[in-house]
Structure 1
Amino acid sequence: MTAFISRAELLASGFTPAEIRGHLATGAWTSVARGRYVTKPGGAHGSVGERHAVRTHAELSRFRSEAIVASHRSAAVLHGLPLLGPKPGLVEVTRDGVNGSRTSSSVQVRASKVPPEDRVRIDGTAVTSVARTLVDLARHDEPLQAIAAADRALATERVTGSEVAAAMARLGSAPGLPAARRVLQRADGRAHSVGETRQRIVLEDGGITGLAFQIEIRDDHGGFIGRTDAGLVELGILIEFDGKEKYTKYLRPGERMSDAVLREKKREDALRALGWMVLRFDWSDLRRPDDVVQRVGQEIEHRQEARLPRGSVMAADPVRITF
């Protein structure tokens, strides 16, 4: 985490108010919250998520009350959970209690019960636990955002379904819980990116049944060919989400993007040689969900009489949240 320093600490160390203003005016220092500054060169120029994390720590340091915790999207950033779309502009916090909700130019404060079991500390800052963060996202954010965050948390064993259920139970009859239950029940821990989660939701909402996920495919001799995002195994159809992360996250030492693209093509050629049909969708496709469902439906019809692919498969089991 990029460190910040308070105005009081700077004054105590000998800086004058004029010197502080001068450093801010030249851009050498950056204000990340009222009276909180990043003074290291480049410290305020990390990724959007990294900058929001610094702002969250800085804003929370201004609250003297132990009743305040980072929550919602800000907590998701600190926990390393994926966010859909741009990172939050406002730092989101929750005040333990029933009163005190407000929004300023930099912070959104919600009032809600936050028992000790739903609190953790990250780099000294009080934050809602992963389980409570998922519940809050499901209560107040877009359903896809909550499902994608839950998928990641479940897949990486950052949380269990029973922990999420317990966090929700501790909220009693708080507003938004019935809808939150319905949302979180759709998470299953078998998506490795927001795009994969979105693809699964599109297919399920479109009535595509019998889907398997994180499918490991081997050839006739047991040799590993690859792992695919989703598919209809009994029909020999594989469905891949083609996000940029697929070609950047798993680059090998010394590889360029073009090397990863070529490796992916060879993998797909090997899958087709075994008899698999491979469908690929990207974000532009998922913005037209009806077209995606129609294309998969057409392939289902075409594959009814097709021979099953050679080799063997093994799919991941779901990890669900039940209430």
Structure 2
Amino acid sequence: MRTTPEATWLTLPQPFLAREAHALGLTSTAIAGAVRRGQLVVPAPQVYAVSAAWSALSPAAAHLGLARAGQVSVAGSVISHATAALLHGLPQPWGPMGSSVCLTARETTRTAATDDWRRVLDGALPPDDVAGVDGVCVTTVARTVVDCLRTLRLRDGLAIADAAVGRGMVTVEELQAVRRRQRRWPGIRTADLGIVLTEGRRESWLESASVATAVALGWPPPMSQVAIHRLDGSFVGRVDLLWGGLGIVGEADGRSKYLGSFDEQWDADRAATFMLRERDRERELESMGLVVARWGTAELRDGGAGLDAVLVRARRRADAARVRCLWRQGQGDELRDWRDLSGGPRVAAHLLPRSRHPGRRNPTW
């Protein structure tokens, strides 16, 4: 029996559909033989890839390869939701990347099973919501963000939205326009809250996820990336989050925040210098009357119980009336007195989740 050379299989997309192989004259018998020999692997039913090429792909690249195959396999579908976010280069939900790719189809009689590699959703797809990226049909950034806000946990949807706005890929006004077309769609209330909380200043998944988690726990929305100055105008530092009404500074200390400060010339002396600078900065912030609360990704587990505990401890020590400093958010903004601090975004009461702590939420937040 003639063996099909690996180079022939590599002329196909990786992975590829059986029908794509057939279009090149490769038979089902040839495919089956290549699978038996270990030349091909089967990532999903009727989907194949060259073993060496498939094993070399990262989880993200493998997911996008399956997404292309999925989009081709379901007529009239486009890549959407979290898979579209990945294709647009936006953050992914926390945790291992699932193998199930997300597609939206205008019309389909197919229902995705829980163990299926394709999650096919029905939904209106006006032309303005569809774009082409790397040769496949995908929902636009605005549609992708709103779909993610509706269907993912708020922490993950907000991280995607913040990144898209922060990189200039979409505006909040464009998100609102998509939302208006999705009236009464599942999860639209969560999307409304996410859009209100979205801004382009947050610099990491952890910062965005921390805001979403804190709000879900009943804390007021904080301001993001606020520059703190001494009363003489000299700069002290820029803080990740600031609860002005409480006098609490929040620092989301993910690994990337620190590893990103070092290049290939990293050494213990530079690390120590960095840590000491952070310590001195925190001491000065506290000397101005602010209370600094720090947490990492682990504190967001279990619904944010760890983050809640950190903020509760900080609030016991905090007194906004004791704070003495100047502040600003934008680089070109004028310095303002602490008493002019207006707080984070205002959220309509009906959008806020019910607090785990009755009486915590201030009606003016």
After superposition, where does 1:162-241 map in structure 2 within 5 Å?
162-205=173-216, 208-209=219-220, 211-216=222-227, 227-232=238-243, 237-241=248-252
Query: Which residue is equivalent to 1:291?
Result: 309
Pairwise CA distance, 1:90 = 1.4
**Distance (whole Å) between structure 1 residues aligned to residue 346 and residue 51 of structure 2:** 43
Question: How much is the aligned-residue C-alpha RMSD, in angstroms?
Answer: 3.7
* TM-score calculated relative to the size of structure 2: 0.71
Judging changes above 3 Å, is the alpha-carbon distance between structure 1 residues 54 and 250 closer, same or farther for their aligned structure 2 residues?
farther
Q: State the structure with more CA Rg.
A: 2
**Distance (whole Å) between structure 2 residues aligned to residue 30 and residue 320 of structure 1:** 52
**Distance (whole Å) between structure 2 residues aligned to residue 319 and residue 153 of structure 1:** 18
Query: Which residue is equivalent to 1:37?
Result: 48
**Distance (whole Å) between structure 1 residues aligned to residue 246 and residue 148 of structure 2:** 36
Query: Which residue is equivalent to 1:87?
Result: 97
Q: Residues 164-210 of structure 1, C-alpha deviation per residue, up to 9 Å, x if partnerless?
A: 12222233554443443234323233322232123223444555558
Judging changes above 3 Å, is the alpha-carbon distance between structure 1 residues 153 and 27 closer, same or farther for their aligned structure 2 residues?
farther
After superposition, where does 1:34-183 map in structure 2 within 5 Å?
34-39=45-50, 41-63=52-74, 65=75, 67-82=76-91, 83-97=93-107, 100=109, 102-104=111-113, 105-183=116-194
**Distance (whole Å) between structure 1 residues aligned to residue 43 and residue 321 of structure 2:** 59
SS of equivalent residue, structure 2 residue 281: helix
Judging changes above 3 Å, is the alpha-carbon distance between structure 1 residues 190 and 178 closer, same or farther for their aligned structure 2 residues?
same
Judging changes above 3 Å, is the alpha-carbon distance between structure 1 residues 241 and 27 closer, same or farther for their aligned structure 2 residues?
farther
Pairwise CA distance, 1:8 = 5.0
Judging changes above 3 Å, is the alpha-carbon distance between structure 1 residues 261 and 25 closer, same or farther for their aligned structure 2 residues?
farther
Pairwise CA distance, 1:17 = 5.1
Judging changes above 3 Å, is the alpha-carbon distance between structure 1 residues 271 and 232 closer, same or farther for their aligned structure 2 residues?
farther
* TM-score calculated relative to the size of structure 1: 0.78
In structure 1, list runs of 5 or more residues that go unmatched.
none
The letter for the 1-side match of 2:204 is S
Q: Residues 82-102 of structure 1, C-alpha deviation per residue, up to 9 Å, x if partnerless?
A: 2233323311111114x5351
More deviation, 8-17/290-299: 8-17
Whether the aligned pair in 2 keeps the contact of 1:216 and 1:227 (CA below 8 Å) is yes
More deviation, 68-77/261-270: 261-270
Identity level (%): 27
Query: Which residue is equivalent to 2:318?
Result: 300
Query: Which residue is equivalent to 1:267?
Result: 277
Judging changes above 3 Å, is the alpha-carbon distance between structure 1 residues 267 and 224 closer, same or farther for their aligned structure 2 residues?
farther
Query: Which residue is equivalent to 2:340?
Result: none
